[in-house]
Amino acid sequence: MTVVDFPEIRRTNPGKIGVLNLQGGVVEHLDHLERLSIQGIPVKKPEELKELAGLIIPGGESTCLSRLINIFGLDEAIKEEYKRGMKLWGTCAGAILLARHVVGEEAHLGLIDIEIKRNSFGSQLDSFACEALVPEVASEPLPLTFIRAPKILRVGEGVKILLAMDDYIAAAESDGVLVTIFHPELTECLAFHRYFARKCSLAAKEEVPPLDPTWNMLSWTRYARIAS
Ligand code: GLN
């Protein structure tokens, strides 16, 4: 994949990636960025988008996120910054928000030409985990966690499929937008965050392996308030 060059951005690029901080898996993404020594900042206001190299729209609930994006006046601001060159990555609900076509409903931000269908695997109880090789992202199979995930049904012109499985597409990208219907931030996988950082023309700590060796079975609960 050719990374589009935005020399004017590199000049002013302070090297930060924002994580939309309205609802959903915000801290988990910030934590993964930190593990790669990338400065991640939670974003709630339009002015906080200024000069970001990239923005992650996390998983959560797309209807809720979409309403909050409008309430917080972020809709136009995200589109403006995208035009300026800010890269976007949507995980799960984030991918739904970025899709140009959403089956049975109006599109939200509509910044990548994909068709996506919400809740395609069934209920929350039909959530699952598996592994797959995504050659553009890492040379070893990566863990994938699907939580009441959508399916990407097709991609349009200018969109490359990064991972196709059974009857659906699980990861795709255009020059400016990456979409994954699974959640790398809930696993030991740092490879997608590094891949996105590279897309944003930022250098992630190279010596960090694609899979965090310190991860254990309980790491996903690291931000849960579990009484000890
Ligand atoms: N089911 C959610 C939706 O349609 C997405 C779930 C997720 O982000 N894990 O918005």
Q: What are the DSSP E strand ranges found in the chain?
A: 16-20, 39-43, 54-57, 87-91, 99-102, 112-117, 128-132, 142-146, 151-155, 160-165, 168-173, 177-180
Does residue 31 carry a pLDDT above 70? yes
Judged against a pLDDT cut of 80, whether residue 226 lies above it is answered with no
Q: Please tell me the residue having the least CA distance from ligand 1 atom 5.
A: 93
- pLDDT tens digits, 165-209: 999 999 999 999 999 999 999 999 999 999 999 999 998 777 788
With a 6 A CB cut-off, is 200 part of the ligand 1 pocket?
Answer: no
Q: What is the pTM of this model?
A: 0.91
Mutation test residue for ligand 1: of 63, 125, 147, the one with most atoms within 8 Å of CB: 147
Backbone conformation region of residue 37, classed left if phi is above 0, alpha if psi is from -120 to 50, else beta:
left
Query: Mean pLDDT across the chain, nearest whole number?
Result: 91
Specify whether domain 7-221 bears CATH 3.40.50.880.
Answer: yes
Q: Which long-range contacts (CB under 8 A, 24 or more apart) does 207-211 make?
A: 208/35, 208/36, 208/37, 210/138, 210/140, 210/142, 211/140, 211/142, 211/143
pLDDT tens figures, 59-97 = 999 999 999 999 999 999 999 999 999 999 999 999 999
- Gap between the Cα atoms of 205 and 214, Å rounded: 16
Give the distance (Å) from ligand 1 centre to CA of residue 12. 34
